[in-house]
Amino acid sequence: MSNIVAYIVSRELIAASSQLPSNRGRSVAVHALIHALRLSKHPHLLVLRPTPASRTALTAFHTRSYIDAVNSKKASEGDSDSSSDIEDAFGFDSDCPRFPLLASYVELVAGAVLTGAESLIDGRVGVAIAWDGGRHHARKDRAAGFCYVADCVLALMRLKRTKQRIMYIDLDVHYSDGVSDAFREPTRTREPQILTLSIHHAAPGFFPPSPYAALPTPTSDPYSLSLPLHLGFSAATFGRVWRSVRAVRSAYDPAYVVLQCGADALAGDPCGVANWCLSSADPDGMGMLEVVADVLSWERVDALGEKLGERLPSDTPIPDHQQFPIWFILKFVQFDVPPGTMQDTNAEADAGYLQEVEACYDRVVQAINTRRAAGR
């Protein structure tokens, strides 16, 4: 296992991602922060430019008509009802409006994760990071939930060609409907090459509406997993359910893990439904950084953690940088997201729920083990 980490970035990727209507300016803030903290100069980091995804690469999952629509000028020019219907059919609505660099954005974000996947497959790196990816709501034929390109699906499909098993873990507060639905197969009889597991909040009216965002049932697909949490989930709750995630990983034994690090479960996010933190003070709790470190330790890259050196202290001040947008400077003064005051209803008001999660996932692990033992 290589002890090099690929960091996929280019000026073109930052320029296109920074135009994303739902997160305008976020990409430039993230990459400028990495640059300002000199993290990109780390001797174990390999900076790779994304190769823009070709039409063939994009249509490995997306429909040709969707990619044509991405590349075309706005169909609703002239404001006729029919062209507006076409725009709606491709999901270019209020959530996902067109923007000037849309076509480049789709090619470059998909290209970033595919460049990362290639660098893992050819053994140049042990870990590949694509900060602009993780668009888990996009569908093969339409944009959805601020997501225009199914980069996670494309990465999983590329890794699948290695004939090895791959586990997808989604930390975003929203259910990974686009990714999970792409690989769900309720009637399969053989062990699949891809297992998806989404940890999220689910409630009536909370995006995305999906019958699959609930806990697995004894008859549901044990390789398309959902782990919904109630309002206010904290590092303590995350630490507890993470044991079940570890058990699934041990049973499935993947060669690759694709980790989607959506950060909207962190305290203070506008979604306002969770109370997760970046790093937990509770030794049994799991903040987002502990989860990432744990995943690195699974894949025989524990040595890599040592090589990368100590974690940035959470009180590291945000350095001055001329490329930080004003909202970023006003909002963040140090490199930390501590928990807020929101009540964790998983642990308190509904104490039996976490036991239900554990029992449910014990059954899942048993189902995976049974299929493995039967050679199916």
Stretch that binds Zn ion, among 35-43, 53-61, 109-117, 164-172 (CB under 5 A): 164-172
Packed helices 102-121 and 64-71: angle between N→C axes, nearest 10 degrees: 130
Rg over CA atoms, the chain: 20
Of residues 158 and 174, the one with the C-beta less far from Zn ion: 174
Binding to Zn ion by residue 50, rule CB under 5 A?
A: no
Contact 125/46 with Cβ under 8 angstroms?
yes
Q: With the CA atoms of 360, 260, 105 and 147 taken in that order, what torsion angle do they form, in degrees rounded to the nearest 10?
A: 30
**Strand order across the 45-48 sheet:** 45-48, 5-8, 127-129
To Zn ion, the closest distance from the beta carbon of 5 in angstroms equals 24
Q: How many residues bind Zn ion (CB under 5 A)?
A: 4
Near Zn ion by CB under 5 A: residue from 132, 170, 172, 290: 172
Stretch that binds Zn ion, among 169-177, 238-246, 330-338, 359-367 (CB under 5 A): 169-177
Of residues 239 and 262, the one with the C-beta less far from Zn ion: 262
Stretch that binds Zn ion, among 13-21, 98-106, 223-231, 256-264 (CB under 5 A): 256-264
Annotated active-site residue in 62, 136, 137, 200? 137
To Zn ion, the closest distance from the beta carbon of 145 in angstroms equals 7
DSSP annotation string for 158-188: HHHTTTS-EEEEE-SSS--HHHHHHH--TT-
Of residues 142 and 174, the one with the C-beta less far from Zn ion: 174
Query: Which residue has its beta carbon closest to Zn ion?
Result: 174
Of residues 4 and 213, the one with the C-beta less far from Zn ion: 213
Of residues 261 and 365, the one with the C-beta less far from Zn ion: 261
To Zn ion, the closest distance from the beta carbon of 330 in angstroms equals 23
Helices and strands (H, E) in the chain, number of each type: 13, 7
Of residues 67 and 197, the one with the C-beta less far from Zn ion: 197
Q: How far is CA 343 from CA 231, 235, 271, 328, 348, in A?
A: 8, 12, 15, 27, 8
Near Zn ion by CB under 5 A: residue from 139, 174, 230, 371: 174
Handedness of CA 290, 329, 341, 267 (dihedral sign): negative
Q: Give the other-Cβ count within 10 Å of 149's Cβ.
A: 27
- Residues 233 and 230: their CA atoms lie apart, in Å, by 6
- Residue 270's Cβ-side half-sphere holds a number of Cα atoms within 13 Å equal to 3
- 35 included as an active-site residue: no
Binding to Zn ion by residue 133, rule CB under 5 A?
A: no
Q: How far is CA 14 from CA 11, 42, 97, 133, 145, in A?
A: 5, 20, 19, 12, 20
Q: What is the amino acid identity at position 200?
A: H
Near Zn ion by CB under 5 A: residue from 141, 181, 264, 294: 264
To Zn ion, the closest distance from the beta carbon of 17 in angstroms equals 16
To Zn ion, the closest distance from the beta carbon of 207 in angstroms equals 8
Binding to Zn ion by residue 262, rule CB under 5 A?
A: yes
Q: Give the other-Cβ count within 10 Å of 174's Cβ.
A: 24
Of residues 95 and 141, the one with the C-beta less far from Zn ion: 95
Catalytic residues: 137
Contacts to Zn ion by CB under 5 A: 172, 174, 262, 264
